[in-house]
Amino acid sequence: MASLVHILFRTLSLLPLPLLHAMGCALGWLSFLISGRYRHRLLAHARQAGYPLHTALASVGEAGKLVAELPRLWLGRPVRVGWEGAAHIDAAQAGGAGVLFLTPHLGCFEITAQAYARRFGDRHPMTVLFRPARQAALRDLVALSRQRPGLLTAPTTLAGVKQLIKALKAGDAVGLLPDQVPPEGQGVWAPFFGRDAYTMTLSARLAQTGHTQVLISWGERLSWGRGYLVHVRAFGPLDSDPVQAAGQINRAMEELVRECPAQYLWSYDRYKTPPPAR
């Protein structure tokens, strides 16, 4: 089974990005029409955030593209990437700061780490938290895709958190998805688009590590498979109180989503009860 998955991904990685995005759009709509649970969650979350139906429906195809582009991003030739706000990274690194990137489930969040590694990784590598895929057939494939120059991974364990802290103290970069629901006991409840969502406190803890500069970023998926544009924004100091800091981060993530709501992953179960810690 694993070898068949590898062959499929290798084959798909050879296809041009516009074709993969077209296939992904069809896949997204197929999932939306088949799965009532998926459809209900996507529409309910977009409505909760105050977006009209046409915005929610526009996100259906984008969610499919998120899946279909992975073979190319993981195993294929590099894609075209532009930057907006890269000067914030240069300034932080020139001052000797470690850089903590906070990226929501918006656009192509896979490309943000890859693009950083290609442009800045030779000087200051990026470490990202890595949770192995549940499916055995995908586990080795995902691990292989993340092994690239300038990009390191850390497990979602205490040892992994220590690895992130070490990287920031060394002046390197760390990437997190702060709107990912953490296990029970590792977050606080804070508003996200007007409804309380369990929000990780790890972001705020890492922000207090040594000389760390927090930046928020997201990878915009350009139309017609033309590549991606990585946006980087400065982010002010976080409150020392974890609940207040979680609220600050959620508001910052909301602002990013408002830049391009059609590319937010509204189907993500953001308001779920946190899973028990292992």
Q: pLDDT tens, 18-35? A: 999 999 999 999 999 999
Average pLDDT, the chain: 93
Which of the four pLDDT bands, split at 50, 70 and 90, describes residue 5?
confident
Tell me what the mean pLDDT of segment 34-57 comes to: 97
C-beta of residue 147 within 8 angstroms of C-beta of residue 173:
no
Domain residue spans in the chain? 80-263
Does the structure show a pLDDT above 80 at 10? yes
pLDDT for residue 278:
66
Q: Which two structure tokens, joined as six digits, stand for 8?
A: 């499929």
Indicate the pTM of the whole model.
0.93
pLDDT for residue 40:
97
Tell me what the mean pLDDT of segment 146-159 comes to: 87
pLDDT for residue 140:
73
pLDDT for residue 182:
93
pLDDT for residue 146:
72
pLDDT for residue 231:
98
User: Which residues, 6+ apart, have CB-to-CB distance to 10 below 8 Å?
Assistant: 71, 75
Q: pLDDT tens, 196-216? A: 999 999 999 999 888 899 999
pLDDT for residue 277:
73
Does the structure show a pLDDT above 70 at 192? yes
- Report how far apart the first and last C-alpha atoms of the chain are (Å, whole number): 28
Which of the four pLDDT bands, split at 50, 70 and 90, describes residue 2?
low
Does the structure show a pLDDT above 90 at 141? no
Residue % of the chain over a pLDDT of 70: 96
In terms of DSSP bridges, do strands 173-176 and 151-155 run parallel, antiparallel, or are they unpaired? unpaired
What 42-45 contacts at long range (C-beta under 8 Å, 24+ apart), as own/partner pairs, is 42/266, 42/267, 43/266, 45/193, 45/266, 45/267, 45/268, 45/270, 45/271
pLDDT for residue 136:
66
94, amino acid identity? A
Which of the four pLDDT bands, split at 50, 70 and 90, describes residue 132?
low
Q: pLDDT tens, 105-120? A: 999 999 999 999 999 9
pLDDT for residue 83:
98
Does the structure show a pLDDT above 60 at 1? no
